[in-house]
Amino acid sequence: MSRACEALGWPELRVVERTGSTNDDLIGGGSHGQVLLALEQTAGRGRLDRTWVSAPGDGLTFSVRLEVPATVRAWGWIPLLAGVAVADAVRATGAQGVGVKWPNDVVAGDGKLAGILSIRDGSAAVVGIGINLAFAGDLPDPQAVSVEQAGGVVDADSLLAAVVANLGAWWQRFVDAGGDAQRSGLQEAYAGQCVSVGVDVTVAAPDRTWSGFAEGIDHDGRLLVRDGEVRAVSAGDVTLRRSR
């Protein structure tokens, strides 16, 4: 894993036995590309303040700090970029039915396989990633699914290296394109495997709940949902109303 970081020009991976939240640990400073892996996380957070607890051996729980240049204005693409990096790496293990669900999940079939939370910290983004590898005991959530259950070969070190390599490659393309998701190929790569596109959805937004047809992802990383008119959704809980 350290070799993968070095090849990207990123600092060494740091591993801790136990922490509350890897995202919280990287807030407030650090180097671009710093990777912090926790063998056990006790107070992790998902989107909308949901919890993400990782028991030892069940999954990969880590965060990456990314310095965001001023040319990148569409910060909404950062968790989506991470989703593509994770989904491609998990798919390479042999896992079946892997896709991304807007805006923060990686899924396998109907189950949640990984969660992503990006937090803005000044000019940096701290991207937290939790991937379910295998469950020795009870499921952490009824909707959870693991790499093992999806048919993938579980090798934590190899998967972590693949995710970091993918993340680094996509980040470089995105930054080189001035933060333009279309020009970098990121918009096409995300939409092509997004289970939230081309289906009827229900959107639970902060102010109301409504339904429509999800048509695509716009240049800012927002989900485009048609409900008489096309609305760009930047925040909210999106539920699929039928299978793709």
> What is the mean pLDDT of each successive set of 10 residues along the chain, which is 244 residues long?
61 87 92 92 62 69 96 96 98 98 95 95 96 82 91 94 94 97 97 95 89 96 94 90 56
pLDDT of res. 50: 54
pLDDT of res. 48: 46
Q: Tokens in use for 66?
A: 């990314």
pLDDT of res. 40: 87
Contact 107, 195 (CB under 8 A): yes
**What single letter denotes the amino acid at residue 77?**
W
Q: Show the domains of the chain with their CATH numbers.
A: 2-191 (3.30.930.10), 200-240 (2.30.30.100)
CA-CA-CA-CA torsion sign (168, 174, 175, 177): positive
Q: Which residues contact 52 (CB under 8 A, 6 or more apart)?
A: 41, 44, 45, 46, 61, 115, 117, 128, 130
pLDDT of res. 178: 97
As a whole number of angstroms, the distance between CA 107 and CA 217 comes to 18
- Predicted structure pTM score: 0.91
